[in-house]
Structure 1
Amino acid sequence: MPVFHDSVADSRLALPPGCEERCPGCTHRRFTAAASEAQKMDWLRRRLAPWAEQLQPLATVAEAERWSYRRKVCLSVVWSDAAGWQFGLWRRDELIPIPDCPVHGGLIRALVHSLMKVLPLQPQFPLAFFVQSGAQATLIVKTHRVTSLDWLAELPWDALTAGGLEGLWLHRHPAAGRRLFARNGWQWLWGEPRSRDAFGLIYGPTAFQQLIPALYDRALATAEAFLAPTAASGIADLYCGIGASLMRWAAYDARVIGVELGGEAVDCARLNAPGAQILRGKCADRIPQLRDWAQQSAAPRLLYVNPPRTGLESEVLGWAVNEFRPERLAYLSCSAGTLSRDLSGLAGAGYAVEALHPYDFFPQTHHVETLALLRRIA
C-alpha cells in the first residue's frame, strides 16, 4: 500500500459538506488533483520500476467528477441508543458515521438517510451491512429470521425511484463479516431484481462494477485496440465479471471463453455476452476446461485478465505462458504490487510490456489501477 507524507496534504483545502475528517476512506481528501496524481504516478514508478519507460500519463476525470462518483459501497451499520442507526466505516474499533459522504452518489446518501428514519430498532432488526451496487441495494442482517417488514411502507419510494433506485433486497446471513454474501437467505423486497449499467449490461445486487464508466470505457477501448480481435481470434477472458469485456470480444464473432467465480455474475455475463462460453469457478480450477477449449482455438490467441488484488493465481500464470501462449495479453490490475510480480513472470516467459496505462478510478483515495499491454516476443 502506498505511504504518503503529511506535507503533501494541504490543510487549507476546504472539505465538501458531509466529509468526515476521521473517516479512513479517502486518504487524498486534502490533496489537490495535481498532488494526488503526482503521488499515484510516483507510487507506480517505484512499484513498476523495471517498466517505468512504458508508463503512460494517468487517465483522470475533471475536478467536478472527483466527488459524488461512487455508485457501489459497503457500509457497516450499528445501532446506538443515543444516535440511532449509524452507517459508516470502521476506524480501529470505532464506527465513523458517513451518511453525507460527498464521494457517494446522491442515491446512496438519500437511501441511507431514509433507512435511518424508518428501520426497526435492534434486536428486532439486526442490520450489520448496507451494500449498494448501482441501482440495486441490499440490507444484510445477522439473523435467519426477520419478523416484520412493515417499515417498508414508510420509505419514500417515489423520491428514491426518481433518484435511481431500482431494487431493494434483504439478505439474512447470521455469519456475515469478511464474507458478506451467502448462497441462501435472499429476499427480494421491492422493484426489479436486476438493472442495466451505463453500458446497457445486466447486473444484480452482488455484481462488481468498475467505478467511473467513462474511464472504464477508455480502458476497455485501449485493451480492445491493442488485442485487435477478429473473427479468427480465440480469446480467453479470465475473472470476467458480468461480461463488460466479453461483450466486446463477442461482437467480433471471435471464439470467446470467460471464467468467473461469482454465480450471479456468471448468470449476468451469459445474458450480456450470449455468444461466449462462460465457466463458473476459480480460474485455477477451470484450467482443464480452458485447456480443452484452447486445443480447438486457432491462432491468433489473445488473453484478457482482470484479477482481484491478489493477482493471477500461479496455476493460471503457468497455463498462460506454458500452454496457451497468447500473442497479445491485456491485464487490468488493481494492485501495482501483484502486477509487478506477474509482469516479472510474464517477462521471464518471453513477453514484453509495451505500455502501462494507469486509470484514476478512485479519486480522493490512494488507489490507482493499471492496464498492462504485453506482446509475445519469444
Structure 2
Amino acid sequence: MSPAQTIDWTDRMLEFTVGPVAHGGHCVARVVDDAPGSGEPTPDDRGRVVFVRHALPGERVRAVVTDDPGGSFCRADAVAVLEPSPDRVEPPCSWAGPGGCGGCDFQHATPAAQRELKTAVLREQLARLAAAAAESATVSFDEVVVEELPGGPLGWRTRVRLAVDDAGVPGLRAHRSHDVCEIGDCPLVPGGALEPVLERRFRPESEVDVTVDGDGAARIDAGATAHAAGRTWELSAGTFWQVHPALADTLAGVVRDWSGARTGGVAWDLYGGVGLLGSVLADQVGPDGTVLVVESAPSAVADGAAALADLPQVSFVRGRAEREISRLRPDPDVVVTDPPRTGLGRAAVQALAARRPQRIVHVACDPAALGRDLALFAGAGYRVAGLRAFDAFPMTHHMEAVALLERAD
C-alpha cells in the first residue's frame, strides 16, 4: 500500500491464521489471502498487519475489524475460531468476549498458556529494546519466565475502579473505549464481593473505587488494612497498594534477597508509596543506617510515616522522585525504584547513575519500559545481575518484573 492511499477496513470480516503474541494483549496476523466480506484486499493491501484480540497463536480465525487508522495496520476481534489452539478454553466470564469488557485479554487461554504468552512478550521486548544490556548482563534474558503467584487465576483482585455510565449504572469500560460495559459480576474479584456494588446507582459519568478487605466485603471509596513484610499497613482511601494479595510480599522478598544493604548504610526507596520496600531496607541497614523513601502522593506519605513510626532510620521525602534524585543526601549504597508504567526514562537514569549506588533493584510493570530503562542503565555503567517476572495480573496481558543492576566497575 503506497503512503498516499487511505483505506478503511472497519467492520470488514477477515479470515487468517494468527501469528505470534505481541505486547498489549493481542496477537499479530497478516492478510495474505483474499478476504471475504465487504470487498477483497487489493494486491497492495495484502501483507497488512492486523492486531487481533481474543485469538491465540496458530489459530485460524474469522475476525471483524474494529479500528482502522488507515495506515499499515488495523485492529480486529476474532469472532469465530475455525482451527482452535490446544491452549484454548472457554472464558470464565461471559462479558470478556468481543465487544464486551476490556479488562481481560487472555481468558480464552489456560493459565499456563497465559504465562507462556507473557514470557514471550517479555523476552521479545527485552531482545528488541535492551540488546545493549543483554551484552553485559550476567543473566540470560532468554531464560527469564513469568512466574505464577499463589492464589490461582481468579478472585485475586482486591481493588477495582468501576466506570459509571450516563444513567448511573456502574460497570467496566470496553476495550480502547470510554463506553461502559454493564456487567453482573467480575470473576477476578473475590466471589460475591462486587455484586452488591453493581446493583447500586451512582452519579452519572463518575468513577467508583472499590476495595475488597480481608473479610471479603467490598468497600466504596474507603481505606483498607493490608499485611505485608511482617507489618500491618492502614491505608487511606486512594493510597496505592498492589492489587494482587501475594505481590507485596513477593516484591519484598525479592528486595530482601537482592538489595544487600549493609548495616549502617544508606538506601533509597524511590516512588516508594507507603514505604513497603523501604521497610525491608530499614531492617537491613538497622537503626544506625538511613533509608529515604521518596513519594509524591500525600496520603501515601502520611500512611507510610504512621506505619513505620517505630523505625527512626526511615525518613519520607514528599516529592517527585525524578526531581529529588539530585537533591537527596547522603549518597546511597543501594536504591530501589518502582516507577509508574512509563518507567524511569533517560533523565532519571542518568541522574541516579551519577549518584553511583552499587546496586539498584528496579521494579517495572511494563516490559517495554523495562527494556528501555535497562538499555539506559547499561549505557550508564550498570549490568543486569538478576531478572524475575511475576504473573501478578492473571487473565490480562500485564505482568510485574524486577531487575537487579550492579555497577560494572
TM-score interval (norm. to shorter): 0.7 to 0.9
Q: Which amino acid aligns with 1:35?
A: A
2:144 corresponds to 1:109: no
Q: Distance in 2 between matches of 1:102 and 1:26?
A: 11
**What is the 5 A alignment of 1:3-82?**
3-4=26-27, 6-8=55-57, 13-16=89-92, 19-21=95-97, 22-49=100-127, 50=131, 51=134, 53-54=140-141, 55-61=143-149, 65-80=152-167
Q: Give the corresponding residue for 1:139.
A: none
**What is the 5 A alignment of 1:221-240?**
221-240=253-272
2:289 corresponds to 1:260: no
Contact 1:260 / 1:279 at 8 angstroms: preserved in 2? yes
Q: Mind listing any 5+ residue stretches in structure 2 that lack a counterpart?
A: 1-22, 29-54, 60-83
2:299 corresponds to 1:270: no
2:169 corresponds to 1:85: yes
Other structure's SS at 2:227 match: coil
**What is the 5 A alignment of 1:178-197?**
194-197=223-226
Q: Mind listing any 5+ residue stretches in structure 1 that lack a counterpart?
A: 120-124, 136-160, 170-192
Once the two structures are superposed, residues 288-314 of structure 1 have per-residue CA deviations (whole angstroms, 9 ceiling, x without a partner) of 431x332xx6xxx00100000111143
**What is the 5 A alignment of 1:320-335?**
320-322=352-354, 324-335=355-366
Instruction: Compute the TM-score of the two structures, normalised by the length of structure 1.
Output: 0.75
Q: Give the corresponding residue for 2:217.
A: 164
Once the two structures are superposed, residues 110-165 of structure 1 have per-residue CA deviations (whole angstroms, 9 ceiling, x without a partner) of 3413524xx5xxxxx44611112444xxxxxxxxxxxxxxxxxxxxxxxxx96334
Deviation for aligned residue 1:79 = 4.2
Q: Distance in 1 between matches of 2:376 and 2:91?
A: 43
Q: Which amino acid aligns with 2:89?
A: L
**Greater C-alpha radius of gyration:** 2
2:317 corresponds to 1:279: yes
* Cα distance, 1:229–1:215 mapped onto 2, change above 3 Å: same
Instruction: Compute the TM-score of the two structures, normalised by the length of structure 2.
Output: 0.70
Q: Distance in 2 between matches of 1:348 and 1:93?
A: 40
Other structure's SS at 2:334 match: strand
Once the two structures are superposed, residues 2-43 of structure 1 have per-residue CA deviations (whole angstroms, 9 ceiling, x without a partner) of 342523475862232554422111110101112111111111
Contact 1:132 / 1:205 at 8 angstroms: preserved in 2? no
* Cα distance, 1:111–1:255 mapped onto 2, change above 3 Å: farther
Q: Distance in 1 between matches of 2:178 and 2:263?
A: 55
Deviation for aligned residue 1:248 = 1.3
**Structure number with higher relative contact order (C-alpha < 8 Å, ≥ 6 residues apart):** 1
2:340 corresponds to 1:308: yes
2:239 corresponds to 1:207: yes
Q: Distance in 2 between matches of 1:231 and 1:247?
A: 14
Deviation for aligned residue 1:224 = 1.5
Contact 1:247 / 1:272 at 8 angstroms: preserved in 2? no
Q: Distance in 1 between matches of 2:178 and 2:303?
A: 37
Cα RMSD of the aligned pairs, angstroms, is 2.5
2:377 corresponds to 1:293: no
Q: Which amino acid aligns with 1:255?
A: T
Contact 2:267 / 2:334 at 8 angstroms: preserved in 1? yes
Deviation for aligned residue 1:358 = 0.6
Q: Distance in 1 between matches of 2:156 and 2:166?
A: 27
Deviation for aligned residue 1:75 = 1.3
2:179 corresponds to 1:94: yes
Aligned residues: 311
> Where does structure 1 differ by over 4 angstroms across 4 or more consecutive aligned residues?
9-12
Q: Distance in 2 between matches of 1:285 and 1:335?
A: 22
Other structure's SS at 1:289 match: coil
Q: Give the corresponding residue for 2:11.
A: none
Q: Distance in 1 between matches of 2:371 and 2:323?
A: 24
